[in-house]
Protein backbone atom coordinates (compact mmCIF):
# COMPACT_ATOMS: atom_id res chain seq x y z
CA UNK A 1 0.00 0.00 0.00
CA UNK A 2 2.59 2.51 1.10
CA UNK A 3 4.75 2.16 -2.01
CA UNK A 4 1.69 2.66 -4.16
CA UNK A 5 0.80 5.79 -2.27
CA UNK A 6 4.28 7.10 -2.59
CA UNK A 7 4.61 6.45 -6.30
CA UNK A 8 1.26 8.21 -6.86
CA UNK A 9 2.46 11.16 -4.89
CA UNK A 10 5.72 11.12 -6.74
CA UNK A 11 3.99 11.13 -10.09
CA UNK A 12 1.91 14.13 -9.18
CA UNK A 13 4.71 15.97 -7.36
CA UNK A 14 7.75 15.39 -9.52
CA UNK A 15 6.24 15.67 -12.95
CA UNK A 16 6.52 19.47 -13.20
CA UNK A 17 10.10 19.83 -11.90
CA UNK A 18 11.48 16.57 -13.53
CA UNK A 19 15.28 16.09 -13.12
CA UNK A 20 17.23 16.55 -9.84
CA UNK A 21 17.44 12.87 -8.89
CA UNK A 22 17.90 13.71 -5.19
CA UNK A 23 14.34 14.98 -5.14
CA UNK A 24 13.16 11.47 -6.00
CA UNK A 25 12.84 9.49 -2.73
CA UNK A 26 13.23 6.12 -4.48
CA UNK A 27 16.45 7.07 -6.22
CA UNK A 28 17.71 8.76 -3.10
CA UNK A 29 17.07 5.60 -1.07
CA UNK A 30 18.84 3.52 -3.71
CA UNK A 31 21.78 5.91 -3.67
CA UNK A 32 22.23 5.65 0.08
CA UNK A 33 21.89 1.88 0.03
CA UNK A 34 24.56 1.55 -2.63
CA UNK A 35 26.73 3.93 -0.62
CA UNK A 36 26.30 1.78 2.51
CA UNK A 37 27.15 -1.45 0.67
CA UNK A 38 30.23 0.13 -0.91
CA UNK A 39 31.28 1.52 2.46
CA UNK A 40 30.95 -1.88 4.12
CA UNK A 41 32.82 -3.60 1.29
CA UNK A 42 35.63 -1.03 1.53
CA UNK A 43 35.76 -1.49 5.31
CA UNK A 44 36.13 -5.28 5.07
CA UNK A 45 38.64 -5.02 2.22
CA UNK A 46 40.69 -2.65 4.34
CA UNK A 47 40.54 -4.95 7.37
CA UNK A 48 41.51 -8.06 5.40
CA UNK A 49 44.26 -6.28 3.53
CA UNK A 50 45.60 -4.66 6.67
CA UNK A 51 45.59 -7.99 8.53
CA UNK A 52 47.45 -9.75 5.74
CA UNK A 53 50.09 -7.05 5.42
CA UNK A 54 50.55 -6.87 9.19
CA UNK A 55 50.97 -10.65 9.39
CA UNK A 56 53.48 -10.62 6.58
CA UNK A 57 55.38 -7.72 8.07
CA UNK A 58 55.76 -9.65 11.32
CA UNK A 59 56.77 -12.86 9.61
CA UNK A 60 53.75 -14.87 10.75
CA UNK A 61 52.81 -17.74 8.44
CA UNK A 62 49.30 -17.49 6.99
CA UNK A 63 47.01 -19.65 4.88
CA UNK A 64 45.26 -22.96 5.31
CA UNK A 65 48.16 -25.19 4.28
CA UNK A 66 48.59 -26.23 7.92
CA UNK A 67 45.42 -28.36 7.68
CA UNK A 68 47.39 -31.01 5.75
CA UNK A 69 50.29 -31.11 8.19
CA UNK A 70 50.63 -34.07 10.58
CA UNK A 71 49.13 -33.17 13.96
CA UNK A 72 51.30 -35.37 16.18
CA UNK A 73 49.19 -35.21 19.34
CA UNK A 74 46.65 -37.60 20.82
CA UNK A 75 42.95 -36.98 21.46
CA UNK A 76 41.06 -38.63 24.30
CA UNK A 77 37.80 -39.37 22.50
CA UNK A 78 37.13 -39.64 18.80
CA UNK A 79 34.06 -40.77 16.90
CA UNK A 80 36.11 -41.35 13.76
CA UNK A 81 39.39 -43.26 13.54
CA UNK A 82 42.18 -40.90 14.61
CA UNK A 83 45.86 -41.37 15.37
CA UNK A 84 48.73 -38.98 16.03
CA UNK A 85 49.86 -39.29 12.42
CA UNK A 86 46.62 -37.77 11.07
CA UNK A 87 46.48 -34.17 9.90
CA UNK A 88 45.39 -30.99 11.68
CA UNK A 89 42.40 -31.01 9.32
CA UNK A 90 41.34 -34.30 10.89
CA UNK A 91 41.62 -32.85 14.41
CA UNK A 92 39.10 -30.27 13.25
CA UNK A 93 36.67 -33.06 12.29
CA UNK A 94 37.28 -34.95 15.55
CA UNK A 95 36.61 -31.83 17.62
CA UNK A 96 33.58 -30.92 15.54
CA UNK A 97 32.02 -34.38 15.96
CA UNK A 98 32.66 -34.33 19.72
CA UNK A 99 30.91 -30.96 19.94
CA UNK A 100 27.98 -32.24 17.88
CA UNK A 101 27.78 -35.38 20.05
CA UNK A 102 27.55 -33.61 23.39
CA UNK A 103 25.17 -30.99 21.94
CA UNK A 104 22.77 -33.57 20.57
CA UNK A 105 22.89 -35.64 23.77
CA UNK A 106 22.29 -32.47 25.77
CA UNK A 107 19.41 -31.27 23.58
CA UNK A 108 17.56 -34.58 23.77
CA UNK A 109 18.02 -35.03 27.53
CA UNK A 110 17.29 -31.39 28.38
CA UNK A 111 14.10 -31.45 26.31
CA UNK A 112 12.73 -34.49 28.12
CA UNK A 113 13.79 -33.33 31.58
CA UNK A 114 12.60 -29.78 30.93
CA UNK A 115 9.27 -31.02 29.67
CA UNK A 116 8.60 -33.09 32.78
CA UNK A 117 9.73 -30.29 35.07
CA UNK A 118 7.54 -27.74 33.28
CA UNK A 119 4.47 -29.96 33.50
CA UNK A 120 5.45 -30.92 37.06
CA UNK A 121 5.54 -27.31 38.20
CA UNK A 122 1.89 -26.99 37.12
CA UNK A 123 0.94 -30.20 38.88
CA UNK A 124 -1.92 -30.12 41.38
CA UNK A 125 0.22 -32.27 43.67
CA UNK A 126 1.76 -29.73 46.07
CA UNK A 127 4.95 -31.71 46.68
CA UNK A 128 5.74 -32.32 42.99
CA UNK A 129 5.03 -28.69 42.10
CA UNK A 130 7.31 -27.42 44.87
CA UNK A 131 10.14 -29.83 44.05
CA UNK A 132 10.04 -28.68 40.43
CA UNK A 133 9.99 -25.02 41.48
CA UNK A 134 12.97 -25.45 43.77
CA UNK A 135 14.91 -27.35 41.07
CA UNK A 136 14.26 -24.67 38.47
CA UNK A 137 15.15 -21.78 40.75
CA UNK A 138 18.37 -23.40 41.93
CA UNK A 139 19.82 -24.64 38.68
CA UNK A 140 19.03 -21.76 36.39
CA UNK A 141 20.58 -19.33 38.85
CA UNK A 142 24.00 -20.95 39.27
CA UNK A 143 26.60 -20.15 36.57
CA UNK A 144 27.05 -23.04 34.17
CA UNK A 145 30.84 -23.18 34.48
CA UNK A 146 30.54 -23.75 38.25
CA UNK A 147 28.03 -26.52 37.63
CA UNK A 148 30.38 -28.16 35.14
CA UNK A 149 33.25 -28.07 37.66
CA UNK A 150 30.94 -29.34 40.39
CA UNK A 151 29.74 -32.34 38.41
CA UNK A 152 33.19 -33.12 37.07
CA UNK A 153 34.90 -33.23 40.43
CA UNK A 154 31.83 -34.66 42.17
CA UNK A 155 31.83 -37.49 39.65
CA UNK A 156 35.60 -38.01 39.86
CA UNK A 157 35.84 -37.94 43.64
CA UNK A 158 33.10 -40.49 44.23
CA UNK A 159 34.22 -43.07 41.71
CA UNK A 160 36.75 -45.79 42.61
CA UNK A 161 40.05 -46.51 40.86
CA UNK A 162 40.03 -48.98 37.92
CA UNK A 163 41.08 -51.89 40.11
CA UNK A 164 38.14 -51.36 42.49
CA UNK A 165 35.58 -50.82 39.71
CA UNK A 166 31.90 -51.14 40.48
CA UNK A 167 30.42 -53.89 38.35
CA UNK A 168 26.90 -53.24 37.12
CA UNK A 169 25.07 -55.35 34.52
CA UNK A 170 28.31 -56.31 32.78
CA UNK A 171 29.54 -52.71 32.81
CA UNK A 172 32.40 -51.40 34.92
CA UNK A 173 32.22 -47.99 36.52
CA UNK A 174 35.40 -46.27 37.70
CA UNK A 175 37.14 -42.92 37.72
CA UNK A 176 38.21 -43.40 34.09
CA UNK A 177 34.64 -43.75 32.87
CA UNK A 178 31.91 -46.30 32.32
CA UNK A 179 33.11 -49.34 30.40
CA UNK A 180 30.26 -51.15 28.67
CA UNK A 181 30.09 -54.30 26.56
CA UNK A 182 30.07 -53.30 22.92
CA UNK A 183 27.76 -55.08 20.48
CA UNK A 184 29.59 -55.62 17.21
CA UNK A 185 27.57 -56.60 14.16
CA UNK A 186 29.05 -59.40 12.08
CA UNK A 187 28.16 -60.55 8.53
CA UNK A 188 24.51 -59.95 7.74
CA UNK A 189 23.93 -57.32 10.41
CA UNK A 190 23.47 -54.74 7.64
CA UNK A 191 20.11 -56.36 6.82
CA UNK A 192 18.93 -55.54 10.33
CA UNK A 193 19.72 -51.88 9.69
CA UNK A 194 17.88 -52.03 6.36
CA UNK A 195 14.84 -53.55 8.12
CA UNK A 196 15.04 -50.80 10.73
CA UNK A 197 14.93 -48.01 8.15
CA UNK A 198 12.21 -49.79 6.19
CA UNK A 199 10.22 -49.93 9.42
CA UNK A 200 10.55 -46.16 9.86
CA UNK A 201 9.43 -45.47 6.29
CA UNK A 202 6.53 -47.91 6.60
CA UNK A 203 5.42 -46.28 9.86
CA UNK A 204 5.46 -42.87 8.22
CA UNK A 205 3.32 -44.12 5.33
CA UNK A 206 0.99 -45.88 7.75
CA UNK A 207 0.57 -42.70 9.75
CA UNK A 208 -0.37 -40.74 6.62
CA UNK A 209 -2.91 -43.37 5.65
CA UNK A 210 -4.37 -43.54 9.18
CA UNK A 211 -4.66 -39.75 9.42
CA UNK A 212 -6.44 -39.60 6.09
CA UNK A 213 -8.80 -42.38 7.08
CA UNK A 214 -9.58 -40.65 10.33
CA UNK A 215 -10.28 -37.40 8.49
CA UNK A 216 -12.59 -39.21 6.06
CA UNK A 217 -14.39 -41.70 8.26
CA UNK A 218 -13.59 -40.66 11.83
CA UNK A 219 -12.26 -44.14 12.56
CA UNK A 220 -9.22 -44.34 14.79
CA UNK A 221 -6.21 -46.55 14.10
CA UNK A 222 -3.61 -47.66 16.70
CA UNK A 223 -0.67 -46.11 14.82
CA UNK A 224 1.58 -46.10 17.87
CA UNK A 225 1.53 -49.86 18.44
CA UNK A 226 1.64 -50.69 14.74
CA UNK A 227 4.59 -48.32 14.35
CA UNK A 228 6.47 -49.84 17.28
CA UNK A 229 5.86 -53.26 15.80
CA UNK A 230 7.30 -52.15 12.47
CA UNK A 231 10.33 -50.28 13.82
CA UNK A 232 11.35 -52.77 16.52
CA UNK A 233 9.64 -56.02 15.55
CA UNK A 234 10.65 -56.09 11.89
CA UNK A 235 14.43 -55.68 12.51
CA UNK A 236 14.19 -58.23 15.31
CA UNK A 237 12.60 -60.82 13.05
CA UNK A 238 15.30 -60.17 10.42
CA UNK A 239 17.91 -60.47 13.18
CA UNK A 240 16.59 -63.93 14.13
CA UNK A 241 16.36 -65.04 10.49
CA UNK A 242 19.98 -64.01 9.84
CA UNK A 243 21.01 -66.23 12.77
CA UNK A 244 21.76 -63.49 15.32
CA UNK A 245 24.81 -61.92 13.61
CA UNK A 246 26.08 -60.12 16.69
CA UNK A 247 29.10 -60.47 18.94
CA UNK A 248 29.49 -58.78 22.27
CA UNK A 249 32.92 -57.49 23.24
CA UNK A 250 33.36 -57.47 26.99
CA UNK A 251 35.63 -54.89 28.62
CA UNK A 252 38.46 -56.55 30.57
CA UNK A 253 40.91 -55.19 33.10
CA UNK A 254 44.35 -55.18 31.55
CA UNK A 255 47.28 -53.28 33.01
CA UNK A 256 46.16 -49.83 34.06
CA UNK A 257 42.65 -49.95 32.77
CA UNK A 258 39.85 -51.71 30.96
CA UNK A 259 40.43 -52.61 27.36
CA UNK A 260 37.69 -53.37 24.83
CA UNK A 261 34.00 -52.51 24.88
CA UNK A 262 32.61 -49.00 24.77
CA UNK A 263 33.62 -46.26 27.14
CA UNK A 264 31.77 -43.18 28.33
CA UNK A 265 34.47 -40.82 29.64
CA UNK A 266 33.79 -38.80 32.81
CA UNK A 267 34.40 -35.51 30.96
CA UNK A 268 31.51 -36.30 28.63
CA UNK A 269 29.31 -37.42 31.52
CA UNK A 270 29.99 -34.29 33.55
CA UNK A 271 29.46 -31.95 30.61
CA UNK A 272 26.33 -33.73 29.50
CA UNK A 273 24.93 -33.73 33.02
CA UNK A 274 25.69 -30.05 33.59
CA UNK A 275 24.36 -28.89 30.22
CA UNK A 276 21.20 -30.98 30.64
CA UNK A 277 20.46 -29.90 34.18
CA UNK A 278 21.12 -26.24 33.46
CA UNK A 279 19.23 -25.98 30.18
CA UNK A 280 16.32 -28.13 31.42
CA UNK A 281 15.54 -25.48 34.04
CA UNK A 282 15.06 -22.89 31.29
CA UNK A 283 13.12 -25.26 29.05
CA UNK A 284 10.82 -26.07 31.99
CA UNK A 285 9.83 -22.43 32.29
CA UNK A 286 9.23 -22.19 28.55
CA UNK A 287 7.01 -25.28 28.66
CA UNK A 288 5.09 -23.94 31.64
CA UNK A 289 4.57 -20.63 29.84
CA UNK A 290 3.36 -22.46 26.74
CA UNK A 291 0.85 -24.55 28.64
CA UNK A 292 -0.45 -21.56 30.60
CA UNK A 293 -0.95 -19.69 27.35
CA UNK A 294 -3.70 -22.09 26.29
CA UNK A 295 -7.03 -20.55 27.38
CA UNK A 296 -8.85 -22.46 30.10
CA UNK A 297 -11.96 -22.57 27.91
CA UNK A 298 -10.19 -25.03 25.61
CA UNK A 299 -9.77 -27.46 28.50
CA UNK A 300 -13.36 -27.06 29.58
CA UNK A 301 -14.56 -27.55 26.02
CA UNK A 302 -12.49 -30.72 25.72
CA UNK A 303 -13.90 -32.19 28.93
CA UNK A 304 -17.41 -31.14 27.85
CA UNK A 305 -16.86 -33.26 24.74
CA UNK A 306 -15.85 -36.12 26.99
CA UNK A 307 -12.20 -36.39 25.89
CA UNK A 308 -10.02 -38.23 28.43
CA UNK A 309 -7.16 -36.27 30.05
CA UNK A 310 -4.38 -37.85 28.03
CA UNK A 311 -6.12 -37.06 24.77
CA UNK A 312 -6.93 -33.54 25.91
CA UNK A 313 -3.23 -33.01 26.51
CA UNK A 314 -2.20 -34.57 23.22
CA UNK A 315 -4.79 -33.11 20.87
CA UNK A 316 -5.91 -29.88 22.53
CA UNK A 317 -3.27 -28.46 24.86
CA UNK A 318 0.03 -29.48 23.24
CA UNK A 319 -0.63 -28.35 19.66
CA UNK A 320 -1.60 -24.92 20.94
CA UNK A 321 1.15 -24.73 23.55
CA UNK A 322 3.84 -25.79 21.06
CA UNK A 323 3.22 -22.67 19.00
CA UNK A 324 4.33 -20.63 21.99
CA UNK A 325 7.05 -23.05 23.10
CA UNK A 326 9.04 -23.64 19.90
CA UNK A 327 10.58 -20.21 19.20
CA UNK A 328 12.14 -19.76 22.68
CA UNK A 329 13.00 -23.48 22.76
CA UNK A 330 15.11 -22.94 19.63
CA UNK A 331 17.07 -20.28 21.49
CA UNK A 332 17.76 -22.74 24.32
CA UNK A 333 19.03 -25.34 21.86
CA UNK A 334 21.37 -22.75 20.36
CA UNK A 335 22.53 -21.72 23.83
CA UNK A 336 23.24 -25.32 24.76
CA UNK A 337 25.31 -25.88 21.63
CA UNK A 338 27.37 -22.76 22.24
CA UNK A 339 27.69 -23.48 25.98
CA UNK A 340 29.21 -26.85 25.14
CA UNK A 341 32.42 -24.94 24.36
CA UNK A 342 32.95 -24.65 28.15
CA UNK A 343 34.14 -28.26 27.77
CA UNK A 344 37.67 -26.95 27.47
CA UNK A 345 37.64 -26.23 31.23
CA UNK A 346 37.39 -29.90 32.17
CA UNK A 347 39.34 -31.42 29.31
CA UNK A 348 36.50 -32.79 27.17
CA UNK A 349 37.99 -32.80 23.66
CA UNK A 350 35.44 -30.60 21.90
CA UNK A 351 36.11 -28.26 18.98
CA UNK A 352 37.31 -25.38 21.17
CA UNK A 353 39.56 -27.60 23.25
CA UNK A 354 41.10 -29.62 20.42
CA UNK A 355 41.09 -27.28 17.45
CA UNK A 356 40.94 -23.76 18.89
CA UNK A 357 43.17 -25.00 21.72
CA UNK A 358 45.90 -27.46 20.91
CA UNK A 359 45.88 -27.08 17.13
CA UNK A 360 45.86 -23.29 17.38
CA UNK A 361 48.78 -23.38 19.73
CA UNK A 362 50.86 -25.91 17.84
CA UNK A 363 50.44 -24.11 14.51
CA UNK A 364 50.21 -20.57 15.86
CA UNK A 365 47.68 -19.68 13.17
CA UNK A 366 45.15 -17.98 15.41
CA UNK A 367 43.23 -16.07 12.76
CA UNK A 368 42.52 -19.06 10.52
CA UNK A 369 41.68 -21.36 13.43
CA UNK A 370 39.38 -18.92 15.23
CA UNK A 371 37.71 -18.07 11.92
CA UNK A 372 37.00 -21.75 11.22
CA UNK A 373 35.76 -22.31 14.77
CA UNK A 374 33.40 -19.35 14.62
CA UNK A 375 32.14 -20.53 11.23
CA UNK A 376 31.33 -23.93 12.76
CA UNK A 377 29.27 -22.53 15.62
CA UNK A 378 27.51 -20.19 13.19
CA UNK A 379 26.71 -23.10 10.87
CA UNK A 380 25.52 -25.39 13.68
CA UNK A 381 23.31 -22.63 15.07
CA UNK A 382 21.85 -21.73 11.70
CA UNK A 383 21.12 -25.40 10.94
CA UNK A 384 19.34 -25.79 14.29
CA UNK A 385 17.47 -22.59 13.58
CA UNK A 386 16.39 -23.67 10.11
CA UNK A 387 15.14 -27.02 11.41
CA UNK A 388 13.22 -25.44 14.28
CA UNK A 389 11.72 -22.77 12.01
CA UNK A 390 10.55 -25.49 9.66
CA UNK A 391 9.04 -27.37 12.60
CA UNK A 392 7.49 -24.17 13.88
CA UNK A 393 5.86 -23.40 10.54
CA UNK A 394 4.25 -26.83 10.61
CA UNK A 395 2.94 -26.29 14.12
CA UNK A 396 1.91 -22.68 13.59
CA UNK A 397 -1.76 -21.80 13.52
CA UNK A 398 -2.90 -21.97 9.94
CA UNK A 399 -5.33 -19.13 9.47
CA UNK A 400 -8.00 -19.59 6.92
Partner 1 sequence: MMKTSLITAAILTVSFAGHAMAEGTLDAVKARGVVQCGVTTGLAGFSNPDEKGNWNGLDVDLCRAVAAAALGDASKVKYIPLTAKERFTALQSGEIDVLSRNTTWTQTRDTQLGLNFAGVNYYDGQGFMVAKSLGVKSATELDGAAFCIQAGTTTELNLADYFRQNGMTYSPVVFDTSDQTAKGFDAGRCDVLTSDQSQLYAIRIKLEKPDAAMVLPEVISKEPLGPVVRQGDDQWFNVVKWTHNAMLNAEELGITSENADEMLKSSNPNVRRLLGLEGPKGTGLGLNDDWAYQIVKQVGNYGEAFENNVGANSPLKVSRGINALWTNGGLQYAPPMR
CA 9 vs CA 2, 16, 18, 96, 176: distances in Å: 11, 12, 14, 56, 76
Contact region with partner 1 (CB under 8 A), list: 32-40, 155-163, 207-215, 283-291: 155-163
Nearest approach, Cβ of 346 to partner 1 (angstroms)? Answer: 8
The closest alpha carbon to 103, from 299, 383, 363, 303, belongs to 383
User: Does 370 engage in binding with partner 1 (CB under 8 A)?
Assistant: yes
The closest alpha carbon to 389, from 330, 325, 338, belongs to 330
Question: Radius of gyration of the chain from Cα atoms?
Answer: 29
- Residue 190 or residue 361: which is nearer to partner 1 going by CB? 361
User: Does 67 engage in binding with partner 1 (CB under 8 A)?
Assistant: no
Nearest 5 degrees, angle CA 270-CA 275-CA 280?
Answer: 130
Of 57, 217, 219, 296, the one binding partner 1 (CB under 8 A) is 57
User: Does 64 engage in binding with partner 1 (CB under 8 A)?
Assistant: no
User: Does 55 engage in binding with partner 1 (CB under 8 A)?
Assistant: yes
User: Does 352 engage in binding with partner 1 (CB under 8 A)?
Assistant: yes
| Residue 173: its H or E element | strand 171-174
User: Does 252 engage in binding with partner 1 (CB under 8 A)?
Assistant: no
- Residue 268 or residue 302: which is nearer to partner 1 going by CB? 268
Q: Are 334 and 80 in contact (CB under 8 A)?
A: no
Of 312, 344, 381, 385, the one binding partner 1 (CB under 8 A) is 344
User: Does 124 engage in binding with partner 1 (CB under 8 A)?
Assistant: no
Restricting to residues 77-116, name those near partner 1 by CB under 8 A. 84-85
Q: Provide φ and ψ at 270, rounded to 5°.
A: -65, -45
Nearest approach, Cβ of 352 to partner 1 (angstroms)? Answer: 7
User: Does 13 engage in binding with partner 1 (CB under 8 A)?
Assistant: no
Under rule CB under 8 A, how many of the chain's residues touch partner 1? 51
Positive or negative: CA dihedral 355, 357, 358, 361: positive
CA 11 vs CA 16, 21, 22, 177, 307: distances in Å: 9, 14, 15, 76, 62
Contact region with partner 1 (CB under 8 A), list: 13-21, 25-33, 306-314, 366-374: 366-374
User: Does 349 engage in binding with partner 1 (CB under 8 A)?
Assistant: yes
Nearest approach, Cβ of 60 to partner 1 (angstroms)? Answer: 4
User: Does 293 engage in binding with partner 1 (CB under 8 A)?
Assistant: no
Strand 177-180 relative to strand 262-264, pairing: antiparallel
Positive or negative: CA dihedral 225, 231, 232, 234: positive
User: Does 45 engage in binding with partner 1 (CB under 8 A)?
Assistant: no
Phi-psi category of residue 308: left, alpha or beta, with phi > 0 → left and psi -120 to 50 → alpha: beta
User: Does 47 engage in binding with partner 1 (CB under 8 A)?
Assistant: yes
The closest alpha carbon to 280, from 39, 91, 117, 83, belongs to 117
User: Does 51 engage in binding with partner 1 (CB under 8 A)?
Assistant: yes
d(CA 386, CA 394): 13
Nearest approach, Cβ of 220 to partner 1 (angstroms)? Answer: 53
Q: Provide φ and ψ at 266, rounded to 5°.
A: -60, -30
Restricting to residues 168-197, name those near partner 1 by CB under 8 A. 175-176
Of 208, 364, 379, 393, the one binding partner 1 (CB under 8 A) is 364
User: Does 291 engage in binding with partner 1 (CB under 8 A)?
Assistant: no
User: Does 256 engage in binding with partner 1 (CB under 8 A)?
Assistant: yes
The stretches of 76-125 forming alpha helices (DSSP H) are 88-121
- Binding site residues, partner 1, CB under 8 A: 47, 50-51, 54-55, 57-61, 72-76, 84-85, 145, 153, 156-157, 161, 175-176, 254-257, 259, 266-267, 341-342, 344-347, 349, 352-353, 356-358, 360-364, 366-367, 370
Amino acid sequence: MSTLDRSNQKNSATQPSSGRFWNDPDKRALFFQVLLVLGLAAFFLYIINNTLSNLEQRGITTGFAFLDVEAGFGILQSLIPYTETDSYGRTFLVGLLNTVLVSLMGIVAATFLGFFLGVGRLSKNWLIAKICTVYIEIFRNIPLLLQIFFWYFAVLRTLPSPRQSIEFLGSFINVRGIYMPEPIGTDGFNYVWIAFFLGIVATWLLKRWADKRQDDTGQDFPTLYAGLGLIIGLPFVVFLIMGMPLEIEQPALKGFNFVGGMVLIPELMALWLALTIYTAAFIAEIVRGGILSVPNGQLEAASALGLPRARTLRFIILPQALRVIIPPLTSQYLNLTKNSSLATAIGYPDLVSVFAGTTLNQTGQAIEVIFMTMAVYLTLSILTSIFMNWYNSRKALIER
